[in-house]
Amino acid sequence: MIPYLKGAKLWPYMNGMKMKPAKTDVDALATGEEIDSQALSTILINIVPNVQAGLNCNSSKYAWDSLLSRYTQADSIMQNLAEYCLFSKKFIEGGSETLPAHLAELQWLRESCRVLGIVIPDSQFAGIITLSMPSPSWDLILGSLSSTLDPSIVMS
């Protein structure tokens, strides 16, 4: 179902990447609700009625999350592996991976963690992105700072 939802450009509504517009923007809200209804309908027509009966159908995201919580096997080994993959992903400057592809892979790994019950807040994800980038050489900066700072501060 995921490849279809991505192809139909409905996936951002399912995984929470695209939020509902503000209630003050009536046209955007109507469009958003229409797209959400399309995504929810796609879910419902692809599952059996007895599974449909137990879903929270307030939105496509609620229905999707309800399915995930019911059918995803989130054991500790899978959670550890997902976290390890997210935290160990590195961008290699001059490598075959482009920066946009690297960021997309990090986002996919974050989403994989979420599916397994590991929530990575935006602030932590920003740190993961930063740490995945090549480290600059701080020697020149530290050298220039040490000549302007009090030596007792630099030594501590």
List the single range of 25-29, 30-34, 152-156 with lowest mean pLDDT: 152-156
Using the structure block, give the residue that is written with the tokens 């997902």: 82
DSSP conformational letter for 72 = -
Q: Does 155 lie in the same domain as 86?
A: yes
Question: Measured in Å, how far apart are the chain's first and last C-alpha atoms?
Answer: 57
DSSP conformational letter for 123 = H
pLDDT tens figures, 51-105: 888 788 888 888 888 887 777 665 778 888 899 999 999 998 888 888 899 999 9
Average pLDDT estimate for 30-39: 86
Q: What pLDDT is stored for residue 106 in this prediction? A: 94
Q: What global pTM score does this model have?
A: 0.46
What b-and-e string marks burial along 80-92, b requiring 16 or more CB atoms within 10 Å of the CB? eebbeebeebebe
38 Cβ contact partners less than 8 Å away, ≥ 6 residues apart = 8, 10
Q: What pLDDT is stored for residue 69 in this prediction? A: 74
Domain end marker among 11, 45, 71: 71
Q: Does 91 lie in the same domain as 64?
A: no
Q: Does 81 lie in the same domain as 48?
A: no
Ramachandran quadrant class, 93 (left: phi over 0; alpha: psi -120 to 50; beta: rest): beta
Domain hosting residue 20, numbered range: 1-71
Q: Does 155 lie in the same domain as 83?
A: yes
Q: Does 146 lie in the same domain as 82?
A: yes
Q: Does 86 lie in the same domain as 119?
A: yes
Q: Rounded to 5, what percent of the chain is helix, strand, coil?
A: 65, 0, 35
What's the structural domain count of the chain? Answer: 2
Domain end marker among 34, 56, 71: 71
pLDDT band at 116 (very low <50, low <70, confident <90, very high): confident
Q: Does 78 lie in the same domain as 66?
A: no
Q: Does 147 lie in the same domain as 77?
A: yes
Q: Does 55 lie in the same domain as 114?
A: no
Domain end marker among 29, 47, 71: 71
Q: Does 113 lie in the same domain as 53?
A: no
Average pLDDT estimate for 21-30: 77
